């Protein structure tokens, strides 16, 4: 029997089949400006409406509501700011614990710390790469006492104030099951949907299941406003309060500056919102191209004995923000060798984030068992995923 080709040969062959041979470097995820971006941004400059007030801010929020189905959307400066305010809306206070997947970008944990709260890291599941609701149920049963209607970690004595699922790489986690688990303990769910604009779970957009959800429009997301993020909710009072808190809690008045609580200057500038409006017009095309690219990757990796394509989990209509593969039975050494081979050949690839509990800044935070997250992080590689690659000629 002929032995299978080496892993680096398998990877480079599949990448070449999908993307062709690079002339320079094929980036991991690049923004695309091919619509009305210049016209809308120029209109801001021409009229002088460039800061946090202007027609494009309102229009961007309305278009986000139409896209996601959320009743209320508030555009803010970035995804981390959105998550920080969302957690405050959910009632998180200094000294509380917030359940966070260890397999996530650092902003998820940072937002918790910005409020003086403590991230409590939990595991992911293989099928979705998102927080594992069943493992969480077992963990909560083992550590939680309900005291006066409040879930308390009996090991630390601190209240568990919220849980923050993150939809990894654009794939929806099992949010409905998580809502069941969290509901047993009356723990609010704040969705980190930063990577999943355009993704739905069983027909409903991510970020709209929990009490509050958040999005990011960083330069590497499926649409970008340069920076930028948004808070989503279906609760009218939380929607009103989100806008109030992100605009310095200023009370309406023709000339006076009256602020009724300590708040944030987090509103998205009109310039950025103008960019976002144009980008949203292209979102259907971006989604179609990214799903076409994922289909080509799926085919290319179907016959690689040592590598497996990470496909959308059951129930998720994914935006495939970042395509990924897993090394079958592989670990960090094999992962690093493949990353060196791919990047050396001009295909910008990267590993998953360093797990949160492995970072020195979070090493003493509470956590559950995280074996699945450790296995995923050791074997996952993200592939070039720009929307335009879905229609590239090879």
pLDDT tens, 226-240?
999 999 999 999 999
| pLDDT at position 225 | 97
Q: 86 and 231 share a domain?
A: yes
d(CA 228, CA 123): 28
Domain count, the chain: 2
d(CA 342, CA 319): 24
| pLDDT at position 394 | 44
| pLDDT at position 330 | 78
Residues paired with 232 in a beta bridge: 73, 213
Q: 58 and 203 share a domain?
A: yes
d(CA 280, CA 2): 50
Q: Which of 257, 279, 301 is the last residue of a domain?
A: 279
Burial 358-385 (b: 16+ CB within 10 A, else e): eeeebeebbbbebebbbbbbbbbbbbbb
Residue 2 lies in a domain: no
Distance of CA 19 to the CA centre of its chain: 25
Q: 45 and 144 share a domain?
A: yes
| pLDDT at position 2 | 64
Q: Which of 279, 298, 315 is the last residue of a domain?
A: 279
Q: In this structure, what token pair is assigned to residue 203?
A: 């027909």
Find, among 100, 137, 101, 130, the residue nearest to 117 by Cα: 100
| pLDDT at position 331 | 87
Residue 1 lies in a domain: no
Q: Residue 340: how many CB atoms within 10 A of its CB?
A: 12
Residue 296 lies in a domain: yes
Q: 375 and 268 share a domain?
A: no
Q: 55 and 107 share a domain?
A: yes
Residue 166 lies in a domain: yes
Q: In this structure, what token pair is assigned to residue 86?
A: 């969302």
Which domain CATH number covers 63?
3.40.640.10
| pLDDT at position 4 | 76
| pLDDT at position 53 | 85
| Percentage helix, strand, coil for the chain under 3-state DSSP, each rounded to 5 | 40, 20, 40
Q: What is the radius of gyration, based on Cα positions, of the chain?
A: 22
Q: 252 and 119 share a domain?
A: yes
Q: 132 and 263 share a domain?
A: yes
Q: Residue 138: how many CB atoms within 10 A of its CB?
A: 14
Residue 88 lies in a domain: yes
Q: Are strands 190-192 and 150-153 parallel, antiparallel or unpaired?
A: unpaired
Q: Which of 279, 313, 337 is the last residue of a domain?
A: 279
Find, among 175, 148, 176, 144, the residue nearest to 160 by Cα: 144
Rounded to whole angstroms, what are the CA distances from 227 to 7, 39, 109, 137, 217?
37, 19, 19, 35, 6
Residue 58 lies in a domain: yes
Which domain CATH number covers 309?
3.90.1150.10
Helix pair angle (79-89, 106-114), 10° resolution = 50
Q: 28 and 157 share a domain?
A: no
Q: 161 and 305 share a domain?
A: no
Residue 331 lies in domain? 7-32+283-391
Find, among 229, 269, 276, the residue nearest to 48 by Cα: 269
Q: 290 and 239 share a domain?
A: no
- Which residue positions in the chain have pLDDT lower than 70? 1-3, 392-394
Q: 220 and 76 share a domain?
A: yes
């Amino acid at each position: 029997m002929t032995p299978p080709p080496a892993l680096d040969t398998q990877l480079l062959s599949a990448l070449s089949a999908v993307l062709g041979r690079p002339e320079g470097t094929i980036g991991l995820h690049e923004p695309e400006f091919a619509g009305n971006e210049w016209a809308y941004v120029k209109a801001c400059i021409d009229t002088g409406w460039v800061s946090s007030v202007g027609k494009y801010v309102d229009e961007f929020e309305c278009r986000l509501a139409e896209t996601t189905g959320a009743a209320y959307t508030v555009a803010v400066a970035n995804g981390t700011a959105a998550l920080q305010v969302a957690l405050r809306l959910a009632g998180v206070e200094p000294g509380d614990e917030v359940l966070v997947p260890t397999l996530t970008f650092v902003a998820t944990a940072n937002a918790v710390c910005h409020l003086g709260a403590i991230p409590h890291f939990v595991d992911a599941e293989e099928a979705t790469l998102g927080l594992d609701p069943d493992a969480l149920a077992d963990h909560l049963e083992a550590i939680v006492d309900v005291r006066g209607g409040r879930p308390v970690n009996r090991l630390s004595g601190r209240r568990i104030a919220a849980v923050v699922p993150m939809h990894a790489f654009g794939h929806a986690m099992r949010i409905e099951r998580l809502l069941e688990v969290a509901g047993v303990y009356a723990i609010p769910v704040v969705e980190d949907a930063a990577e999943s604009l355009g993704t739905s779970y069983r027909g409903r957009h991510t970020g709209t299941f929990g009490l509050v959800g958040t999005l990011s429009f960083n330069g590497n997301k499926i649409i970008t406003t340069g920076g930028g993020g948004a808070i989503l909710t279906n609760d009218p009072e939380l929607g009103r309060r989100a806008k109030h808190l992100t605009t310095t809690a200023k009370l309406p008045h023709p000339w006076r500056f009256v602020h009724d609580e300590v708040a944030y200057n987090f509103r998205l500038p009109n310039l950025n919102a103008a960019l976002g409006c144009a980008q949203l017009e292209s979102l259907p095309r971006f989604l179609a191209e990214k799903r076409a690219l994922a289909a080509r990757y799926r085919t290319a990796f179907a016959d690689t004995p040592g590598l497996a394509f990470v496909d959308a989990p059951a129930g998720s209509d994914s935006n495939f923000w970042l395509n990924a593969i897993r090394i079958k039975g592989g670990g960090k050494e094999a992962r690093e060798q493949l990353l060196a081979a791919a990047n050396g050949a001009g295909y910008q690839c990267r590993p998953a984030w360093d797990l949160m509990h492995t970072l020195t800044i979070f090493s003493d935070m509470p956590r559950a068992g995280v074996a699945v997250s450790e296995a995923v992080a050791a074997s996952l590689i993200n592939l070039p995923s720009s929307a335009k690659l879905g229609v590239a000629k090879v």
